[in-house]
């Protein structure tokens, strides 16, 4: 066995456990299909979190991960030697990581296969041989964790605009009704003394024996007094009732009842919004991503999901593809290193297999000691099945395929990936926070229909009472009775 320029990895414990379990499960280790003295060359590449390739000086490199265990197992099973060769960086810069691997596999006669699994597409199946699938995974979005919504307008948010408009209209109507009642009561004959020319004209004593009419100020005084009364009731400050007449009391009582509903609803929402964090909407789907003004999609043009989005001609994929093509230098990349560096800025969302999403969230938590990112729900995309790729028409593909099927069915690949050191655990970032981040919806008009209905009925009842008072007072007016008695005499 020869590993070109490779430093021995430190993570052999999982591999030894895997070999022991392979013996327990009875997977065939015989060398009936021995390939000795064959020697194979495999391309390796940086594929976090499954495999990590670190380049050193003078062509040296280190490589470890799940694929190393598989290659070791295949070499032991078929008794052959192998060399691991890093993919050419110059070709990566030109085509992207995956296409660089395919280019070297197809055009370099010394390369036999690629370590690691790839999602099969028609194009890939036509250009290369593929084995039984060695991995399956769903897709998620890696997205920035949403922050708290601004509380700058916390005192406006509890009600919808329509509710606010009706509240202001109700205040104007109530103040106008109170002013109307007061004006009529003040000018009615039974309420004040007569003045010359039989006109009701309140007067102000200036202290020097001169009396001036306040007819120019009484409307302003009424409106101001009643406005203060209405606002004090709404702000729970209380206020002295300015009239003892029944119609005014009915109107004021209905307003107090309506204001109680409005104020308690408003107060409850405001307190909740100030004490419970209101989080911005979380991105859980492609539709959410399109609607987000702050987060843009990031695509790898050499991955299957990236190709599907960039080649789409309709639907949500086309919308996302057009968004990425509008800024290709920033949103379309070709290698894992660039993906990680751009995701760390918190401005992008990246669709990829959920294992990568979990690993990235965990690695950032380990780095920053806080949950800056999250993985979305599983995207409505069919589960991906991934196979190893070998040179087209290789005579060993079927042999490898059968062996990899045994390895997959034993469950050891899943076991090895689960305990990879490149997948840090960050359970805190995946705990459900439904209660903590629940968004408080503003109260709609339909929620307060009963309050405004009560206000409307009360206003009508106050007007009816006012008219009855006028009728009763006109019949039982002492001044009228006095005049009638004088006329009889």
Amino acid 81: pLDDT:
93
Amino acid 166: pLDDT:
86
Between helix 246-275 and helix 161-187 the angle, nearest 10°, is 160
pLDDT: is 184 or 79 the higher one? 79
Poorest-pLDDT segment among 182-196, 389-403, 411-425 = 182-196
pLDDT: is 468 or 129 the higher one? 129
389 falls in which pLDDT band (50, 70, 90)? very high
Amino acid 348: pLDDT:
93
Mean pLDDT of the chain: 77
- How confident is the model over 177-190, as a mean pLDDT? 72
Amino acid 444: pLDDT:
60
To the nearest 10°, report the CA torsion of 399, 403, 405, 407: -160
Amino acid 410: pLDDT:
84
pLDDT value at 454 more than 80: no
Poorest-pLDDT segment among 24-33, 124-133, 396-405 = 24-33
Amino acid 484: pLDDT:
61
Predicted TM-score of the model (pTM): 0.62
Amino acid 318: pLDDT:
93
pLDDT value at 415 more than 80: no
pLDDT tens digit string along 287-344? 999 998 889 999 998 888 888 899 899 999 999 999 999 999 899 988 888 888 999 9
pLDDT: is 132 or 250 the higher one? 132
419 falls in which pLDDT band (50, 70, 90)? confident
Q: Report percent pLDDT > 70 for the chain.
A: 74
pLDDT tens digit string along 103-160? 999 999 999 999 988 888 888 889 999 999 888 888 999 999 887 776 666 677 778 8
């Amino acid at each position: 066995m020869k590993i070109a320029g490779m430093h021995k990895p430190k993570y052999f414990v999982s591999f030894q456990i895997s070999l022991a379990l392979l013996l327990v499960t009875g997977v065939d280790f015989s060398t009936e299909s021995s390939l000795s003295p064959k020697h194979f060359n495999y391309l390796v590449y940086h594929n976090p979190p499954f495999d990590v390739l670190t380049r050193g000086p003078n062509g040296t490199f280190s490589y470890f991960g799940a694929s190393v265990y598989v290659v070791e197992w295949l070499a032991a099973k078929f008794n052959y030697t192998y060399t691991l060769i890093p993919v050419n960086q110059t070709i990566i810069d030109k085509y992207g990581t995956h296409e660089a691997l395919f280019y070297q596999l197809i055009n370099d006669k010394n390369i036999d296969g690629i370590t690691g699994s790839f999602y099969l597409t028609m194009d890939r199946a036509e250009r290369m041989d593929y084995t039984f699938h060695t991995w399956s995974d769903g897709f998620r979005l890696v997205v920035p964790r949403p922050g708290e919504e601004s509380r700058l307008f916390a005192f406006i948010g509890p009600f919808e605009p329509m509710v606010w408009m009706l509240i202001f209209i109700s205040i104007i109507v109530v103040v106008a009704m109170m002013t109307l009642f007061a004006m009529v009561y003040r000018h009615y004959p039974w309420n004040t003394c007569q003045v010359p020319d039989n006109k009701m004209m309140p007067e102000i004593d200036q202290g020097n024996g001169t009396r001036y009419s306040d007819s120019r100020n009484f409307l302003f005084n009424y409106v101001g007094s009643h406005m203060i009364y209405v606002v004090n009731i709404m702000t729970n400050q209380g206020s002295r009732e300015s009239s003892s007449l029944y119609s005014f009391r009915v109107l004021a009582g209905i307003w107090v009842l309506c204001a109680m509903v409005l104020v308690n609803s408003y107060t409850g929402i405001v307190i909740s919004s100030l004490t419970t964090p209101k989080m911005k909407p979380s991105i859980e789907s492609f539709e959410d991503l399109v609607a987000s003004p702050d987060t843009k999609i990031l695509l790898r043009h050499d991955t299957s999901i990236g190709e599907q989005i960039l080649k789409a001609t309709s639907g949500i994929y086309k919308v996302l593809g057009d968004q990425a093509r509008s800024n290709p230098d920033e949103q379309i990349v070709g290698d894992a290193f660039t993906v990680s560096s751009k995701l760390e800025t918190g401005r992008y969302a990246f669709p990829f297999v959920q294992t990568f999403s979990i690993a990235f969230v965990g690695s950032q938590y380990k780095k920053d000691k806080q949950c800056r990112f999250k993985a979305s729900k599983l995207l409505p995309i069919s589960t991906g099945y991934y196979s190893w790729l070998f040179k087209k028409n290789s005579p060993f593909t079927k042999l490898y395929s059968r062996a990899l099927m045994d390895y997959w069915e034993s469950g050891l690949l899943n076991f090895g990936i689960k305990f990879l050191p490149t997948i840090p655990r960050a359970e805190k970032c995946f705990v459900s926070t439904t209660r903590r981040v629940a968004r408080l919806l503003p109260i709609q008009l339909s929620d307060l229909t009963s309050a405004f209905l009560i206000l409307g009925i009360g206003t009508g009842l106050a007007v009816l009472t006012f008219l009855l008072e006028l009728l009763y007072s006109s019949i039982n007016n002492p001044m009228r009775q006095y005049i009638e008695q004088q006329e009889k005499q």
